[in-house]
């Protein structure tokens, strides 16, 4: 989802304006100091606890309140309104509370540095996610997820390229939207920005479109999945392939079910790995001959843009396959993973500015949303083919 304005500017300036001889900043050096971040970190933690952390029996939470209301109100077709019909869980409540605080109450400036750590919490959660898989999961989902992700990354890029040229969006904006929707939202958009010589306002424009689309998917796709009675595996693949930003992918998956969240997180790893190849593919598909004459090294792109936390996920997954820890420990790690995700979701909500819809503009929203829903439709067709062939339940 959207990272804070300060973090966007910092990352974009490093990508676009950095000199070759300058020292490359580390992941941690790009983050604000812990002292400056403490108010925002505490705010995210407190709001996450008040929303209701999974596995913690604390009575005074929003989750407990909604369950109490469902028990008091008469059931609707035998189901509770908030939990059963509206699918309110820690994912939805964390995001909604964060969004309401940002857009109704307002976020103090002292919170802003700490909110940039929400991406770190998400990466830590993904690393711990490796403790929830065994070798059989890779055998079952590995080949299918590779096919789905490859098809959606490169096929999605083609869709946006064609639509960008049809609507005469320009090479830079077409490349930015293709990267944002086909791969990893904000990260992919920033990765391709210096290659397409995009202006900072164009980057913000593309980010706003992908973020708002992903936010809509987070609430709409689970209802679509329930109506189509998609299995956890199928929905997890759909979330990873159809939702632009990685943070929103995880949230959408867990909004459907815990198992679907695991699958979406696992499959999203494949999309992250494809970022360097996808960026180069979009670069050569969208740019004119005068820009393609610039020498671009695949290995430089791979070294600069490959997500290092993927190695952490692989390491934890390997240890789990070797049964280094007992099953109860793996279950406890699953709860800790959800705590990191819950804090991250609160932070994402606190960074979501509904005014970004105005920033995106009507033309960009139409192109981004139409092409985005076309990608989701193609993904559903691909999933149903796998289901009919018996490769997927």
User: What burial class does residue 109 get, using C-beta atoms within 10 Å of its C-beta: 0-12 exposed, 13-18 middle, 19+ buried?
Assistant: exposed
Instruction: Report helix angle 200-227 to 246-256, nearest 10.
Output: 10
36-81 pLDDT, tens digit per residue, is 999 999 999 999 999 988 877 778 888 888 888 888 888 776 777 7
* CA angle in degrees (0–180, nearest 5) for 68-78-82: 40
190-231 pLDDT, tens digit per residue, is 777 777 777 767 777 787 788 888 888 988 999 899 899 999
Segments of the chain scoring below 70 in pLDDT: 1-30, 77, 85, 137-138, 140-141, 185, 200, 286-307, 356-361, 363-364
pTM of the model: 0.74
Cβ–Cβ contacts within 10 Å for residue 33, how many? 8
Helices (H), the chain: 5-17, 34-51, 62-72, 90-100, 112-115, 118-129, 135-166, 171-182, 186-192, 200-227, 232-242, 246-256, 258-273, 275-286, 289-292, 298-305, 309-321, 327-351, 356-360, 362-389
Residue 79 DSSP class: B
């Amino acid at each position: 989802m959207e990272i804070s304005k300060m973090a966007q500017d910092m990352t974009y300036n490093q990508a676009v304006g950095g000199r070759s001889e300058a020292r490359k900043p580390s992941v941690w050096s790009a983050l604000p100091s812990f002292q400056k971040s403490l108010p925002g970190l505490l705010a995210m933690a407190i709001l996450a606890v008040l929303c209701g952390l999974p596995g913690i029996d604390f009575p005074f939470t929003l989750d407990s309140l909604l369950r109490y209301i469902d028990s008091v109100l008469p059931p609707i077709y035998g189901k509770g309104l908030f939990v059963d019909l509206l699918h309110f869980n820690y994912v939805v409540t964390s995001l909604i509370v964060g969004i309401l605080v940002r857009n109704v109450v307002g976020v103090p400036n002292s919170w802003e540095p700490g909110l940039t750590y929400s991406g770190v919490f998400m990466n830590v959660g993904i690393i711990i996610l490796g403790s929830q898989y065994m070798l059989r999961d890779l055998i079952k989902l590995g080949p299918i997820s590779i096919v789905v992700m490859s098809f959606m990354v490169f096929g999605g890029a083609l869709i946006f390229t064609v639509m960008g040229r049809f609507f005469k969006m320009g090479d830079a904006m077409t490349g930015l939207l293709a990267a944002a929707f086909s791969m990893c939202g904000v990260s992919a958009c920033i990765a391709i920005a210096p290659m397409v010589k995009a202006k900072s306002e164009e980057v913000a424009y593309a980010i706003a479109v992908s973020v708002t689309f992903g936010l809509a998917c987070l609430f709409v796709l689970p209802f679509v999945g329930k109506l189509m009675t998609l299995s956890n595996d199928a929905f997890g693949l759909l979330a990873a392939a159809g939702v632009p930003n990685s943070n929103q992918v995880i949230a959408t998956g867990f909004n459907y079910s815990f198992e679907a969240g695991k699958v979406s997180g696992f499959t999203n790893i494949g999309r992250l790995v494809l970022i360097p190849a996808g960026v180069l593919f979009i670069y050569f598909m969208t740019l004119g001959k005068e820009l393609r004459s610039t020498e671009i090294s695949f290995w430089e792109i791979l070294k600069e843009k490959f997500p290092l936390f993927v190695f952490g996920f692989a390491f934890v997954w390997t240890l789990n396959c070797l049964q280094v820890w007992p099953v109860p420990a793996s279950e406890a790690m699953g709860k800790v993973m959800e705590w990191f995700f819950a804090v991250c979701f609160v932070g994402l909500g606190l960074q979501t500015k509904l005014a970004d819809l105005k920033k995106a503009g009507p033309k960009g929203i139409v192109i981004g949303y139409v092409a985005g829903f076309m990608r989701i439709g193609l993904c559903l067709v691909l999933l149903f083919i796998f289901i009919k062939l018996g490769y997927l339940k």
